[in-house]
Chains A and B, each alone.
Chain A
């Protein structure tokens, strides 16, 4: 169920004029994953961390800790940036209902945007955050226009997944996002 949310996030980032990066872009390389994530974060001005998968899952009933770890790395970049002059801004997406205050209370005071595990709510949360960043350039598509384009992306990725024998690589996701964003055309205002 996570893939549609991830694809909606990638589409939103690209539609708003930013280049989405992901640890999956260097899949298959010999460097440890954490090194690749650190490199991606260092090369990016902004990072988005979805903390909504906080519940235990799988046969061992364990929660995933990758996202909080990656958020910690982004936070350290932010604090280092204050002295080095290289800026990095981050946002954590949390589930609706203030439940994050129970499992990551250190985020108190940041008002992280919430989503309800749907592409529509992810598009809205990410659009809202990116739109207030200084590098956002209007005119760009509205969250509604991005949501209207999303089904086409889902369709293209479904076809690509069948072609890839059940596997979607990052280059394939990016290529299809690029097709959809190009087809969206130029927003009026």
Chain B
């Protein structure tokens, strides 16, 4: 399996953003190393944005494997994927590497069905809350229309 890593594979003088975009378009799967917020967030966000713009997160046949370092906040588009947790031990590194290989071989296993169901439930609640907001606005508008008429 070929891998691409910016610090290793970028040619000297190459345009970083264009090279990242090309590498993302050519990739069969993605491993996300997600750590606590830091100064590199801008570049990380740029890479996430490219993956989202190409809608790879909607494709269950594309392995997207989040690897969490510490206890960071996951971006929304990765929430339904099985996350691996990397701890500061050699055993953990080996286990995570093996799990990554398994997930790359079997992309469907990178989707977490329980989290997907939780997402569906969250969506239903969000729609319900939006409906309530709409009804509240409507009721307030009727009151205002009454005041406008009196005025």
Residues of A within 8 A of B (CB): 14, 17-19, 25, 28, 109-111, 113, 124, 127-140, 142-144, 169-171, 174-175, 178, 181-182, 186, 189
**Is the CB of B126 closer than 8 A to any CB of chain A?**
yes
**Is the CB of B116 closer than 8 A to any CB of chain A?**
yes
Query: Which secondary structure dominates where chain B touches chain A?
Result: helix
Q: Which residues of B contact A142 (CB under 8 A)?
A: 55, 58
Q: Which residues of A contact B42 (CB under 8 A)?
A: 109-111
Cβ A18 vs Cβ B133 within 8 A: no
Cβ A178 vs Cβ B126 within 8 A: no
Cβ B55 vs Cβ A143 within 8 A: yes
Q: Which residues of B contact A110 (CB under 8 A)?
A: 42
Total residue contacts A-B, CB cutoff 8 A: 102
- Sample (30) of A-B pairs whose CB atoms are under 8 Å apart: A17-B126, A17-B127, A19-B133, A111-B42, A113-B49, A124-B53, A129-B49, A131-B57, A131-B75, A132-B48, A132-B75, A132-B77, A133-B75, A135-B76, A136-B79, A137-B76, A137-B119, A137-B126, A138-B77, A138-B79, A140-B119, A142-B55, A143-B55, A144-B55, A171-B134, A171-B138, A174-B137, A175-B138, A178-B130, A181-B127
Cβ B58 vs Cβ A134 within 8 A: no
Q: Which residues of A contact B73 (CB under 8 A)?
A: 134
A174 CA to B133 CA, complexed, in Å = 9
Q: Which residues of A contact B57 (CB under 8 A)?
A: 131, 138
Q: Which residues 55-82 of B have a CB within 8 angstroms of A?
A: 55, 57-58, 60, 73-77, 79-80
A144 CA to B53 CA, complexed, in Å = 11
Residues of B within 8 A of A (CB): 42, 45-46, 48-49, 52-53, 55, 57-58, 60, 73-77, 79-80, 111, 116, 118-120, 122-123, 126-127, 129-131, 133-134, 137-138, 140-141, 144, 148
In the complex, which residue of chain B has the Cβ closest to the Cβ of A174?
A: B134
Most B C-beta atoms less than 10 A away, residue of A132, A143, A144 = A132
Q: Which residues of A contact B126 (CB under 8 A)?
A: 17-19, 137
In the complex, which residue of chain A has the Cβ closest to the Cβ of B76?
A: A136
Most A C-beta atoms less than 10 A away, residue of B76, B116, B138 = B76
Q: Which residues of A contact B53 (CB under 8 A)?
A: 124, 128
Minimum C-beta distance from A58 to chain B (A): 28
In the complex, which residue of chain A has the Cβ closest to the Cβ of B74?
A: A134
Cβ A133 vs Cβ B76 within 8 A: yes
Contacts A131-B57, A189-B116 given; indicate if A136 touches B77 (C-beta within 8 A): yes
Cβ A134 vs Cβ B76 within 8 A: yes
Minimum C-beta distance from B83 to chain A (A): 13
Q: Which residues of B contact A143 (CB under 8 A)?
A: 55
